[in-house]
Amino acid sequence: MGEDLIEHAIFVLDSHSTKLPAKLILNSKTGKLSIEFNDLNFEVEKELNFFKQIRKLDEKVNENGLKLLCNATSFGVFSIGLRSDWSRGVSAYTYDTRSINVFECSWWNKYASQKDQKDFYEFVKSKLIPVTKIMFKAKERGLSKEKMLEIQDEWLRKKGITRDNFWKRELWE
């Protein structure tokens, strides 16, 4: 691997949802992002936001009946606001507002299209209003971020929502 190349181990899902090991490669000199697996190679041009760049690469891979599987292409992940802007899209949020690296894979990854991600984000955001109000009151009382996340985790636990099942809309109702 050259000095200008940064590799990340991810997966590609074939038409049967079989996970195939792949390499996500960022050329730090040109800004191009590519994926290599088997004998296939796909590439997209430089973007200012890495989350968006990965999603563009996923679109290209989708045209060939395949899907990228990493944090950036998973249910319950969204890239908005200052964290996304400041990190150039390297950081994104999970459904429970934890920060993750978009290039990495996690055990809980479940593929979602961009539309799925946006729709689910809007849906969950509307359902989190009650706990958000509780957390703001906690912040006003001077509670730490860790304590506020405990409040949120407790609220989610009471609803039976975990990383294994958070994409099930019926749990959020």
If DSSP states are collapsed to H, E and C, what string results for 133-154? Answer: HHHHHHHHCCCCHHHHHHHHHH
pLDDT at position 49 is: 86
How buried is 133 (Cβ within 10 angstroms: 0-12 exposed, 13-18 middle, 19+ buried)? exposed
The residue ranges of every structural domain in the chain are: 5-112, 128-172
The mean per-residue pLDDT over the stretch 25-52 comes to 91
- Cα gap 7→168, rounded to integer Å: 32
Confidence of residue 13 (pLDDT cuts 50, 70, 90): very high
Question: Whole-model pTM?
Answer: 0.76
Counting residues of the chain whose pLDDT is more than 70, the rounded percentage is 81
The pLDDT tens digits of the residues spanning 93-141 come to: 887 777 888 999 988 888 999 998 888 778 777 777 776 676 667 667 7
pLDDT at position 94 is: 81
pLDDT at position 111 is: 93
